[in-house]
Structure 1
Amino acid sequence: MSNDSKEKQDKDNLTAKKKKFRYTLFSTILVLILFAALVGAWFYYQSDMGTLLAIKEPSNISILGPDGAEMSSIDLNYTEGEKAGDQVTVKRVFCVQTSADKHWLEIVHTTNLKGLTFNIYKVSDTGTETVTDEGHTYKYDNTAIAGSYLNLDKTDSDYKYAKDTYHNKNYEGINKDRVQIHAEPVYWLASQSLDTNKTNSIKNGKTYRTYYVCEVSWTETTKETDIFYILAKIAE
């Protein structure tokens, strides 16, 4: 092969390599641009979703403590005056804050405590009983709000037992035999929706607080722990 022919072939090979490199570089840049576009779109979507979540209206009902104070839990620690022998009885005040005309009350609790019972009373200016909680004193009716358990199986030796009606809602995928019997919660629902007390208004008369007294009793021969929830829902 002559020198001229070899130089021409070398130039052709170099040109081909340059073209191949440019194609590869272009393809790489294109992929990076597409990847950046996808990531950018994902971040934009997340940002947009976050904006939507931020402006979502909060629930129009909440449970608060005495005098409308923020409350994450009800303190069931008792004083000496709240225990007589083995019998403990505590009374705690809470309120339902809502603009709705009516609301529902529901109680959910586990069943470790012996003889656990409770009553819910509505606070009233004409009430014949009084209770002081967190420095605030309230009058309340001595007639408990009517209601019933939705899944009570039986009461034996002062302990309650739940049916497995709502087991899968609480312990999805877990065999019932693997759940301690008193950890299965029972559900109590008021017999009817309750009127919101519209004489106790806040926020320009559009939101109201309806106060209640929760009385919980149990027999304490040994130290046990129960989970006790108070739930509220707007009546549709």
Structure 2
Amino acid sequence: MDEQLNAREQGDIKHNEGAANPGGNGFGSHGEARPAGRIERIKAWVSGHRRESLAIMGLLAVLLVLLGLTLGWFVDANRGSTVGKIKEPAELKVLGPNATATEQIDLSYNPEYGDTKTGNTVTLKRAFCVQTGGDGFELQLANTTNITGLTIELYKAEDTGPGDAPDVRGIAGGKPYSWKMYETDLLKSFTPIEDPGEGASDPTFKDYQNVQRNARPLYRYKKFGKSELNAKTLDGSTGNDTLNFIIKLSWDESAKETDVIYLIARNTSGK
């Protein structure tokens, strides 16, 4: 009797436990446990591998920092390349009239070019231009001084208008040109480069000593802004890209000497 009562009480206790927790541990029916979910498995793994978890979190933080720095540099560099893009220097060319290719300007006396002679003094005018691509430039002129009384003048040139007398005219590159000088002699506003003096070395002859003074070129230069360009000679240009010039020379033809004149164009970064 007592055994039956004990068995019934134990059965009641188990029944009550089942009633209080009808699903067993809540993961399945009849008290059977369901497999742990993904989040619970991650939590369980992290709980049992705390040191490895901290190392992984540290590595991820470093990777995120490096990624942020790389993206920041790329964005900043890309912005800089857009805002501060460097323009390539223009290709400067000293050319003949109508921007025709020339290696040297013929400075010998020739009446067919309109050259004149008064007594022994000859005067000639020659056309040339500096093609810049639309930027400003510096023009340098240098000449030796063997001929006594040689005078050099330099003027800007423009196309003649109706009724204008041309200072130079001819055909170049299959096209006629007719230019006149305007403004004043530009050489008066050129800046001279200091003459080192007799017997001294200079940039032309470098380490050679005792060079005769008249054989050393005299240098002077002047900068021209892009607003002074007065001709368009390049295909695709949106505005003027060339400045036309006329050089005028006179000397005593009886002087049996020879001089050389250099015309050099130098880039000034578009100023």
TM-score, length-normalised on structure 1? 0.62
Residue 10 (structure 2) aligns with: none
Q: Which residue of 2 aligns with 1:103?
A: 137
Report if aligned partners of 1:129, 1:140 keep a CA contact under 8 Å in 2: no
Counterpart in 2 of 1:140?
181
Q: Equivalent residues in 2 for 1:42-191 (5 A)?
A: 60-80=91-111, 81-125=115-159, 130-135=166-171, 136-145=177-186, 146-152=189-195, 163=197, 167-175=201-209, 177=210, 179-190=211-222
Residue 170 of structure 1 aligns to a residue in which SS?
A: coil
Whose Rg is larger? 2
Q: Cα deviations across residues 53-103 of structure 1 (Å, max 9, x unaligned)?
A: xxxx99611011011111100101113542211212111000111124311
Cα deviation, residue 203, structure 1: 1.8
Long gaps (5+) in structure 1: 1-56, 153-161
Match for 1:149: what amino acid? P
Which structure features the higher share of strand residues?
Answer: 1
Q: Structure 1 residues 172, 208: closer, same or farther in 2, change over 3 A?
A: same
Identity across the alignment (%):
29
Aligned length: 168
Q: Which amino acid aligns with 2:109?
A: Y
In 2, distance between residues paired with 1:134 and 1:167? 42
The amino acid across from 2:265 in the alignment is: A
CA distance in 1, matches of 2:160, 2:129: 18
C-alpha spacing 1:131/1:198, structure 2 compared with 1 (3 Å): closer
Partner of 2:30: none
Counterpart of 2:100, as a letter, is A
- Give the conservation status (yes or no) of the 8 Å contact 1:113–1:220: no
Q: CA–CA distance in 1 between the matches of 2:193 and 2:199?
A: 9
Distance 1:133 1:167, change over 3 A: farther
Q: 1:202 aligns with which of 223, 234, 257?
A: 234
The RMSD of aligned alpha carbons is 2.8
CA offsets, 1:124-155, max 9 Å, x none? 24786622244331122041222142235xxx
Q: Quick one: distance in 2 between partners of 1:113 and 1:61?
A: 30
3-state secondary structure, aligned to 2:107: coil
Provide the secondary structure at the position in 2 that maps to 1:67: helix
Match of 1:233 in 2: 266
Deviation at 1:231, TM superposition (A): 0.9
Structure 2 counterpart of 1:224, from 231, 244, 257: 257
Q: Is the 8 A contact 2:131 2:243 kept in 1?
A: yes
Q: Which runs of 5+ in 2 are unaligned?
A: 1-87, 172-176
In structure 2, the residue corresponding to 1:120 is in which secondary structure?
strand
* TM-score normalised by the chain length of structure 2: 0.54
